[in-house]
Amino acid sequence: MPSPAEGAPLRITLLGGFRLAGADGSVRIPAGSERLLAYVALRPGPVARSDVAENLWPGASEARAHASLRSALTRLRGAGCCRALDTGPAELALADGVAVDLQELRALARGLLDGTDAVRGAVEAIGTGEIDGLSRDLLPGWCDEWALREAEEWRQLRLHALEALAGHFVGARRYGHAVSAAAAAVRAEPLRESAHAALIRAHLAEGNQSEALRAFRAYRTLLRNELGLSPTPALLGLVAGLRPDASRVDGHHAAVTWR
């Protein structure tokens, strides 16, 4: 693969797998340098060299870890990608103008959860590209402890964001996108009740009662088979008016039985 053309913008992809790209397409760099770029790209600002060395080469002596860091930087320069990083004597940071997909989608996810006016006003501009981005795992297949921690944090954030996005789409009467966003959350975590609730709400908002009931029954069966559990009263309440075979009120809870 080619080295990035001088002055061409660089973009780092972390979702769905690591990729470094310039104007001419993907750029191949050594695995150690990939890990270095990924680690720095996960942070919003400068990172201490000591922190990078300690986390990328755990178990190595301090001297060896810093030697490995210098080697990774040298290999990065050899691949023609030295301008991806600003390297100081004590810190490393992404160079100005280097785009990172995670940072963009993380900002979108947090905006969706905060419910800011800016995000609510931008729902019309959000589409399948953002749903697809929020559906992707962070650095899948990477087993480094730091990568696994970041991946789990992203998983929780994106699941909440997809559910919130489904609600925003329902409010904007974009029902197809609402179903897509909720379905993406269900695929990411099939046993997550709040994701199924978002999907059922999207179907009901569109007037598709049969789809809502089908989604509920599929989740109920999966939950029973996998965990021996039943849906919560809150989820039962979403479909209680569709086709109950029997219902009773016991204290403060309503129980509904479905065939």
pLDDT, residue 253, reads 43
Write down the domain spans for the chain: 11-97, 101-232
Does residue 1 have a pLDDT over 80? no
Residue with tokens 């040298």: 74
At 244, is the pLDDT very low, low, confident or very high (cuts 50, 70, 90)?
low
| pLDDT score at 78 | 75
Cα(30)–Cα(21) distance, integer angstroms? 14
Please say if the pLDDT value at position 6 is more than 70.
Answer: no
pLDDT digits (tens, 9 = 90+) for 50-70: 999 999 999 999 999 999 999
For domain 101-232, the CATH architecture is Alpha Horseshoe (1.25)
The identity of residue 29, as a single letter, is I
Q: pTM of the predicted model, to two decimals? A: 0.86
Structure tokens at 124: 């019309």
Q: What is the distance, to the nearest Å, from the Cα of residue 58 to the centroid of all Cα atoms in its chain?
A: 26
Q: What is the pLDDT of residue 32?
A: 81
Please, what is the average pLDDT of the chain? 88
C-alpha 18 chain-centroid distance: 14
Higher pLDDT, 33 or 208: 208
Output the pLDDT for position 118: 61
Q: What is the mean pLDDT of the segment spanning 147-166?
A: 97
Whether 207 has a pLDDT exceeding 60, the answer reads yes
Asked whether residue 124 carries a pLDDT value surpassing 90, the answer given is: no
pLDDT of residue 44: 85
HEC letters along 19-69 = EEEECCEECCCCHHHHHHHHHHHCCCCCEEHHHHHHHHCCCCCHHHHHHHH
How far apart CA 190 and CA 188 sit, in angstroms, is 6
Q: List the strands of the sheet with 91-94, edge to edge.
A: 47-48, 91-94, 85-87
| Mean pLDDT, range 117-135, rounded to an integer | 82
Q: Give residue 124's Cα distance to chain centre.
A: 21
Reply yes or no on whether the pLDDT at 185 is more than 60. yes
Percent of the chain with pLDDT over 90: 73
In terms of CATH architecture, what is 11-97? Orthogonal Bundle (1.10)
- pLDDT of res. 31: 83
Give yes or no for a contact between 186 and 196, defined as CB atoms under 8 angstroms apart. Answer: yes
Confidence label for 247 from pLDDT (cuts 50, 70 and 90) = very low
Report the alpha-carbon distance of residue 147 to residue 53 in Å, rounded. Answer: 14
> Which tens digits make up the pLDDT trace of 186-196?
999 999 999 99
pLDDT (tens digit, 9 = 90+) per residue, 91-114? 999 999 899 999 999 999 999 998
